[in-house]
Amino acid sequence: MDIKLLTIDDDPIYHVIIKSMAKQFSLDNLIFALNGQKAMNLLEELVQNGEHLPNVILLDLNMPYVNGWEFLNWYQPFLENIEERPKLYICSSSDDVTDIQQSKNYNCVTGYFTKPLSKESFEQVITE
């Protein structure tokens, strides 16, 4: 599969888990950002350099500096001039109904998963 996957999460252990699952599906184009600000900088840089954005983004909600909600508030207008839009999935330890409902207010959010992301959920994310 030729998929570029961006994981935005402040937990380095979660990065290891994603790398392990990606290896099972022969994915090797992985990008990691430890918070929303780093991800924003990365995406802006990709656009400025004329490079493709990731096909899939996994976004945590609870992070330092710029959290997932702040990232989404920046990201949704950022997409206005982007033709090929990544599929963005929230992957959070929060199973709070309020968070799940709030995520539906963003048309850029494809889905919501609670951590830990199962192998089946990961496969769904990369094959949809």
CA dist., res. 94 & res. 99, Å (int): 7
Question: Where residue 42 sits, what CATH number does that domain have?
Answer: 3.40.50.2300
pLDDT, tens digit, for every residue of 21-52? 999 999 999 999 999 999 999 999 999 999 99
Q: Scanning the structure block, which residue is given the tokens 């380095």?
A: 12
pLDDT of residue 94: 87
Range of the domain at 61: 4-127
Looking at the 3D structure of the chain, how many domains does it have? 1
